[in-house]
Structure 1
Amino acid sequence: MIRLQLNPIASVADAQAMLQTAINVEFGTLPPYLYAQLSILPGSNAPAMARLQTITHQEMIHLCLSANILNALGGSPKLVAPVYPGPLPGDIGFDGKVLTLHLLPFGKYAMKQGMDIEMPVDPIDFPQLKMTTLVATKAVTIGQFYEALDAYLKSLPATAWQINRNQISDAQFFPGQIFAVNNYADAHRAIQVIVSEGEATSTSPLDFSNELAHFYRFEEIYRNQVLTSIPGKPGFAWGEPLGVDFAKSYPAVADPQLLDYSKQPEAARAAQQACTVAYTAMVDSLNLALNGDAAQLGIAVRRMFDLRMAAIHVLQTPLADKSKVAGPAFIYHAA
């Protein structure tokens, strides 16, 4: 499970720092999740594609909600593009050790990585499923991280909250799913959404909307089985095949940021450069949007589409080894 080092929260500045870490964790999961999603061959693996699309959309929503809380407390969100392979931003660990994330094409390894990221403290044992809960002594899960943050935010006076400061709304982005944070009640609701959709609870795999949390969605794809509701406890069991075919994916390399493009065909270099330009533009627009430039949000949405199209082109462009393609490297080039 991902574990964030939990330091005592003694001031609003401490809470702002925690929220910035949370924002970069949410943002840092997106390239690995998108790499797996986009590398699925068109027209195949529809159940897996649907699950991965839901996860990536919700991670983007979580990022915006965390930014709304930070803005309401007077902070200034900043997206920091990670390098892959490498750790997520902040003090991140897996069972007390640093968790190194990779860009992996659609397959069991990519799904296992998603499970490692989203794993709750006590994953539920379902029939056919036996998992050992590992506990680290100096670290906490993302859920526990947010719980500590929530407890501190609850103690703040009403005057600590700045109403309508740089809030991302659902007018242009994920209608009905993003909301402004103007007080503790709004922040508490946002935290509940983030934790529930990622980890669910210790007694159910379902989030607040009665949908499977991210960990269990990844587990369904990994196991190629549908987690099905049954009478009695634990309430669910592993049932029919989901219909996953890991062979139906683009032959993308792992960790394309490590590829030596000087040894690749011009078409592959050009395709990857176009992807880098699109990713950089999207990150720049999102940073402006998260800091009060409302017009940039619509621009960021369009640049997400541009990135998707550039990524698909990379996935369809052969490398020098014509049996392989690079896949989007998610490289950010600051101006």
Structure 2
Amino acid sequence: MDPYGIKTLDELKEFLYRAMQLEHATIPPYLTALYSIKPGVNRDAAQVLRVIVVEEMLDLTIAANILNAIGGTPDLTRPDFAVNYPASLPDGETDFKVSIQAFGREALATFLKIERPARRPEHLAGKGLIQRKNSPHITALGSDPRHEDLHFYSIGEFYSAIADGIKYLEAEARRAGTTIFIGDKFRQITSEYYYSGGGELFPVTDLKSALEAIELIMEQGEGDGGGIYDDDEHELAHYYRFDELVKGRYYRKGDQPDHPTGPHLQVDWEGAYPIKPNLKVAEISEGSELREAATDFNTCYGEFLELLTRAYNGQPSLLLEAVPIMFEFRNIIVELIRNPLPGHPGKYSSPTYEIPHSAKQAAVAGQAEVIA
């Protein structure tokens, strides 16, 4: 067992909260890149982003299922849940930051880093967790001080640590005649509440289903066992979907990673509105319609996170509303993205994802604790 591994149930719950935070942290960048694409161009890229956003929501829900299975409380209304862009990912990857920006080469380069396979560069092979070079406030992986100066190389590596922690804690519990899987089974979200072609939502109730859930998340992001598809070889992993766009060619069955041989696809690298990266509300003229629209969007997005919190805490049918709402954000996002930004020549506005922590959010969080 890694000396820095997960050793307590509270620590595992915190890692799974970070997993939810991590899955969510990818949605605003992908969603903004999608809606920054100008009408009539980059249809392939738009479809890739649309599918991946839906699958990231699926992964977020899977992480919530695992947390619920061990008696945790998914809470997307915590003030620290939505990251402040530009941001390091919540799993502690510190060699890059994720920004809110327009679709383009720079955005795709970041997306490939987000979804990168767990295989490491040769100079990092076999070293487990990596010593941090950045200040420790960037992310905190659990409450144990041992983790404050450590981070992971990839999302896959992060989930592998969670899987190891689950196996370790369940083995310890079984030796004592108990189990860590004590959560309310009625909180589990299944496929009847969420449709996605990228994977089946199943209840997490024991060690086997928990490990299968983690494997599904890892396969969707980076592929199965070094391959480019998931375990069933039906769906191309996120990393390779983005790689297709960068290389301008589709993967097909039998292709090796980084070597697509399928038909060419067209990408218009200038076919997106040049939004100002990581815009903040404070940078938009006070009293303007643009600032009001940005503020309204943040309020709506906060309500969306409240809805998800309720869905994950005993009202699973609410999840049926979540994906449609996420794509209804298009109208407000497009209203922002297609407007030039005063004071910033050549740049356009964008959503800022500065989520207000309202009294209503606090009430929802309190209700979640009561349900727990």
TM bracket, shorter-chain basis: 0.7 to 0.9
Structure 1 residue aligned with 2:133: none
2:160 counterpart of 1:147: yes
The percent of aligned pairs where both chains have the same amino acid is 30
251, 262, 272: which one aligns with 2:294: 272
212, 222, 226: which one aligns with 2:250: 226
Classify 1:193/1:223 alpha carbon distance in 2 versus 1 (closer, same or farther; 3 Å). Answer: same
1:15-56 alpha-carbon deviations (Å, 9 max, x no partner): 212111111111111111111111112232111111111211
Unaligned segments of structure 2, at least 5 residues: 131-151, 359-372
Q: 1: CA distance between counterparts of 2:261 and 2:108?
A: 17
- Check conservation: 1:197, 1:207, Cα contact below 8 A: yes
For normalisation by structure 1, the TM-score amounts to: 0.85
SS in 1 for 2:250: strand
Which residue identity is paired with 1:135? Answer: L
Structure 1 residue aligned with 2:303: 281
Q: Which moved more, 1:50-59 or 1:63-72?
A: 50-59
45, 48, 57: which one aligns with 1:48: 45
2:72 counterpart of 1:75: yes
Structure 1 residue aligned with 2:240: 216
- Check conservation: 2:281, 2:291, Cα contact below 8 A: no
For normalisation by structure 2, the TM-score amounts to: 0.77
Q: 2: CA distance between counterparts of 1:23 and 1:238?
A: 35
Structure 2 residue aligned with 1:333: 356
Structure 2 residue aligned with 1:15: 12
Q: Which moved more, 1:140-149 or 1:269-278?
A: 140-149
Classify 1:8/1:203 alpha carbon distance in 2 versus 1 (closer, same or farther; 3 Å). Answer: closer
Structure 1 residue aligned with 2:208: 185
Unaligned segments of structure 1, at least 5 residues: 124-131
Classify 1:224/1:33 alpha carbon distance in 2 versus 1 (closer, same or farther; 3 Å). Answer: same
Which residue identity is paired with 1:160? Answer: I
1:219-274 alpha-carbon deviations (Å, 9 max, x no partner): 1112222234458x7795345431111211123221122761126x8221122122
Q: CA deviation at 1:215?
A: 1.1
2:188 counterpart of 1:167: yes
Q: CA deviation at 1:174?
A: 2.0
Structure 2 residue aligned with 1:93: 93
- Check conservation: 2:117, 2:226, Cα contact below 8 A: no
Structure 1 residue aligned with 2:365: none
Classify 1:151/1:112 alpha carbon distance in 2 versus 1 (closer, same or farther; 3 Å). Answer: same
- Check conservation: 1:72, 1:165, Cα contact below 8 A: no
- Check conservation: 1:105, 1:254, Cα contact below 8 A: yes
Count of residue pairs the alignment pairs up: 317
Q: 1: CA distance between counterparts of 2:245 and 2:167?
A: 38
SS in 2 for 1:54: helix
Q: Which moved more, 1:197-206 or 1:133-142?
A: 133-142
Structure 2 residue aligned with 1:250: 273
Structure richer in strand, relative to its length: 1
* Aligned alpha-carbon RMSD (Å): 2.7
Runs of 4+ deviating beyond 4 Å: 233-236
SS in 2 for 1:86: coil
